[in-house]
């Protein structure tokens, strides 16, 4: 399975601790394609259907309902946690994700 940056994938996030987002859920691939080709891990941001408008959350529509990409919950996972690919972000959503990552972790 070829994993690409900004794809939406279903991931098993079992075995979490504390306030980490858990259970099987959609996630956005954050790691760049070059890393995704060569490593057995990828970096993802979980997607939640229940959230408040936090500055680290990107609201978007997935399968007809409002969802939030949790930039504050970015994590690296093993490829064996991936169940399937279900889609990808559009250009507007990608630009918003990039902006929030930059605001949160760079500036």
Q: What is the pTM of this model?
A: 0.91
Asked whether the predicted pLDDT for residue 104 surpasses 60, the reply is yes
Dump strand ranges (E) for the chain: 7-12, 24-29, 41-48, 57-62, 65-70, 75-78, 82-88
pLDDT in the model for residue 22: 64
State the total domains in the chain.
1
In a domain, 1, yes or no: no
For residue 18, the domain's CATH number is 2.30.30.110
Residue 25's alpha-carbon distances to 28, 70, 74, 97, 103, in angstroms, are 10, 12, 14, 18, 25
Asked whether the predicted pLDDT for residue 89 surpasses 90, the reply is yes
Segments forming the whole domain that contains residue 36: 7-105
| Vertex 21 angle, CA 49 and 16, to 5° | 155
In a domain, 2, yes or no: no
In a domain, 17, yes or no: yes
In a domain, 53, yes or no: yes
In a domain, 23, yes or no: yes
């Amino acid at each position: 399975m070829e994993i690409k940056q900004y794809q939406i994938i279903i991931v098993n996030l079992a075995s979490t601790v504390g306030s980490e987002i858990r259970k099987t859920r959609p996630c956005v691939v954050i790691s760049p394609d070059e890393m995704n080709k060569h490593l057995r891990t990828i970096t993802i941001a979980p997607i939640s259907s229940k959230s408040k408008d936090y500055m680290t959350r990107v609201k978007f529509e997935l399968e007809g309902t409002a969802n939030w990409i949790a930039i504050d919950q970015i994590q690296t996972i093993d490829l064996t946690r991936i169940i399937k690919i279900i889609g990808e972000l559009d250009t507007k959503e990608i630009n918003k994700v990039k902006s929030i990552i930059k605001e949160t972790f760079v500036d």
